[in-house]
Amino acid sequence: MAATKPRPLPSWLLPALVAVTYLAYSPAWHGGLLWDDNGHITKTALRSTEGLWRIWFDIGATQQYYPVVHSAFWVFHRLWGDHTLGYHLVNIGLHACSAWLLAQILHRLAVPGAVLAAFVFALHPVHVESVAWITELKNMLSGAAYLAAALAYLRFDSARRPRDYGLALAVFAVALLSKTVTATLPAALLVVFWWRRGTIDWRRDVAPLLPFFVLGIAGGLTTAWVEHTYIGADGADFQIAPLERLLIAGRAIFFYLGKVLWPANLVFVYPRWELDAGAWWQWLFPAGAIALVGAVWLRRRRTRAPLAALLFFIGTLVPALGFVNVYPFRYSFVADHFQYLASIGVIVLATAALARLAERRRVAPPLRIASSAAIVIVLAVLTWQQSRQYASAETLYRTTIARNPSCWLAYNNLGALQLHRSRAETEEAVLHFKDALRLKSDYYEAHYNLGQAFNELGRDGEAATAFRAALAIRPRIPHPHRNLAVALMKLGRFDEAVVALRAAIVAEPNAADLHNDLSAALMQLGQFDAAAAEARIAIRLSPSFADAHFNLGVSLMRLGRRDEALIEFLSTLRVAPNDASAHRLAGALLLDQGRLGDAAAHFQAALRIRPDDAESRAGLARATKGGT
């Protein structure tokens, strides 16, 4: 990182970065939705103007409280709906622009190799996870805003114009509201100032950045609270002792450093390390990190560049080093998208060193260009290959399993994709869910999905067992209670089904379908008064619920309240005119009342829908013969 003034950046840089980045990521252009993309693309309830207001002012309305990102998703959904091409093209374009902004920053700082650094950043395969995953619009927006804020602040640092300061602070706020990992920007700027000047001045360097630090701390605390309260970064998977967190941090530093320098075997989900503070070898990682910092510290009088790059790298990683819980720690302590910005420190140091080496060796310009082009081509090919994994969710999960056979998450997600396709694929899904549970026996989602698969295959006893296992882990969630009840009713165990449905209603008392299912189960037990009461609750919650009107009609008929029952069957038919059973029962009640023409009409309607219905045929015969 020399301080000699470089030549102006070439005018072709931005279009060239855009072109090669789109080309390298072309396999992911039409990639489908991945793991939690459905949770980020704007939900139906938030697609209105009121929904946009909720994105900003109703914490918990969105997957994470990143209102700038979710506002962007809101706009994008208005433009192209659920079609994934648009989302991918935006991510790739933002990534290319971030690379260009990086070149602008390095040019202003007179760092050699700025153009090569921009291309390496744009095409480094470790960034594929961030760019090709729709959810990581968070990284793309926050990264671009982070770099734009840094560029504006560097302009302020040179000229001290208030407009530059105001712009930097405003864009920094946008970055924080996109992803709070950008809270490290003010610390990164202090590292840059120390590298340039060899010292930090309170008045010139620190004081103007205090508002940035305040905003960053507030954003970080908010995100930590949201992760804990709304996303679920809590529980046994997150009970990590302080010493173990030091082990995570030390190992993660070398992991990320290794992936930047040698991007081989990149995986969507890496194995989760087994932590053991009593194992001496695990302490080699934090000790090595301290030694590495110490080594570059001792060399600071000769060159501050390595220390500055390492401080930037580690400092930007701090939010993901294990000192605070984030949801992905449930299955892995590291992820490629965690080092999207941090990798800049290593990339810039490496490209600047190459540029300085070429200068010292007086390498001819054509050879410099050729060697830089070779680096760019190799990275572009690696990124193209890596982005092929993101062509579909199934491809991604199968690749993840091949590279990380211990990834219970990938087994479950692959199985979930195969449900409801065909019997053969559902049977294969059962094997994947069992693999997930072999690796993680307390995995609620895998137990629940296994129950769904068994239910689809007609293996009701095994389905009930799987749903009970899911409920043993999360007893307050209504869906497994209901699915358990369905399986039990198929097995004729209606008393147990009633217990399961009542538990589901406790968890979700305003679910009309649960009350209706309970009504059906109570009818099977002959408890018609209770069945009628549950059906009435379902109708109150959902007045046009045809099945609830039908169940109420059957219950009333069995209680001898035939006139009221007829009203309910007719109500059923107003909502569901093709319900053959409602036509048949309405016809029977009308026949008893002597309304032969009306009864015949209902029997005829039932036979049009279900021609082999013997009871409707017999009823029609009675109606046409005068009721005898």
* pLDDT tens digits, one per residue of 58-85: 988 888 899 999 999 999 999 999 999 9
Supply the pLDDT for residue 155: 97
Q: Does 24 fall in a domain?
A: yes
pLDDT at residue 238 above 90? no
User: Got the DSSP string for 75-91?
Assistant: HHHHHHTT-HHHHHHHH
- With both helix axes pointing from N to C terminus, report the angle between 185-197 and 305-317 in degrees, rounded to the nearest 10: 170
Closest-CA residue to 84 (of 41, 53, 39, 20): 41
Tens of pLDDT, residue by residue over 116-156, are: 999 999 999 999 999 999 999 999 999 999 999 999 999 99
Q: Please answer whether residues 616 and 582 qualify as being in contact, where contact means their C-beta atoms are separated by less than 8 angstroms.
A: no
pLDDT at residue 224 above 90? no
pLDDT at residue 236 above 60? yes
Compute the average pLDDT of residues 529-543: 95
Tens of pLDDT, residue by residue over 263-304, are: 999 999 999 999 999 999 999 999 999 999 999 999 999 999
pLDDT at residue 626 above 80? no
Q: Does 254 fall in a domain?
A: yes
Compute the average pLDDT of residues 327-343: 94
Supply the pLDDT for residue 239: 84
Compute the average pLDDT of residues 205-212: 97
Sign of the alpha-carbon dihedral angle for 59, 63, 68, 74: negative
pLDDT at residue 165 above 50? yes
Length of the chain: 628
Q: Does 72 fall in a domain?
A: no
| Token reading at 580 | 């053959």
CA distances from 548 to 253, 413, 558 (A): 59, 35, 15
Q: Which of 391, 426, 447 is at the close of a domain?
A: 391
Tens of pLDDT, residue by residue over 86-110, are: 999 999 999 999 999 999 999 999 9
Compute the average pLDDT of residues 368-392: 95
C-beta neighbour count of 424 within 10 angstroms = 9
Q: Which of 332, 365, 391 is at the close of a domain?
A: 391
Supply the pLDDT for residue 39: 86
Alpha carbons 556 and 44: distance in angstroms, whole number: 38
Residue of higher predicted confidence among 146 and 623: 146
Structural domains counted in the chain: 2
Q: Does 174 fall in a domain?
A: yes
Supply the pLDDT for residue 223: 84
Residue of higher predicted confidence among 394 and 6: 394
Residue that has been written with the tokens 């679910």 in this structure: 511
Supply the pLDDT for residue 229: 74
Supply the pLDDT for residue 628: 55
Q: Average pLDDT of the chain?
A: 93
pLDDT at residue 234 above 90? no
Q: Which of 337, 365, 391 is at the close of a domain?
A: 391
Tens of pLDDT, residue by residue over 576-592, are: 999 999 999 999 999 98
User: Got the DSSP string for 491-532?
Assistant: TT-HHHHHHHHHHHHHH-TT-HHHHHHHHHHHHHTT-HHHHH
Supply the pLDDT for residue 233: 60
- Determine whether 194 is exposed, middle or buried from the number of CB atoms within 10 Å of its CB (0-12, 13-18, 19+): middle
Confidence of residue 1 (pLDDT cuts 50, 70, 90): very low
Helix (DSSP H) and strand (DSSP E) numbers for the chain: 30, 0
Q: Does 316 fall in a domain?
A: yes
- The answer for residues whose C-beta is within 8 angstroms of residue 621's C-beta and 6 or more apart is none
End-to-end CA, the chain: 103
Supply the pLDDT for residue 116: 97
- Print the domain residue range for 123: 13-41+82-391
CA distances from 421 to 360, 394, 508, 621 (A): 63, 13, 29, 44
Burial pattern 548-576, b for ≥16 Cβ within 10 A else e, equals bbbbbbbbbbbeebeeebbbbbbbbbebb
Alpha carbons 168 and 171: distance in angstroms, whole number: 5
Q: Please answer whether residues 277 and 241 qualify as being in contact, where contact means their C-beta atoms are separated by less than 8 angstroms.
A: yes
Residue that has been written with the tokens 């300085």 in this structure: 356
- The answer for residues whose C-beta is within 8 angstroms of residue 163's C-beta and 6 or more apart is none
| Token reading at 348 | 């810039």
Q: Does 141 fall in a domain?
A: yes
Q: Does 328 fall in a domain?
A: yes
Q: Does 482 fall in a domain?
A: no
Alpha carbons 471 and 480: distance in angstroms, whole number: 7
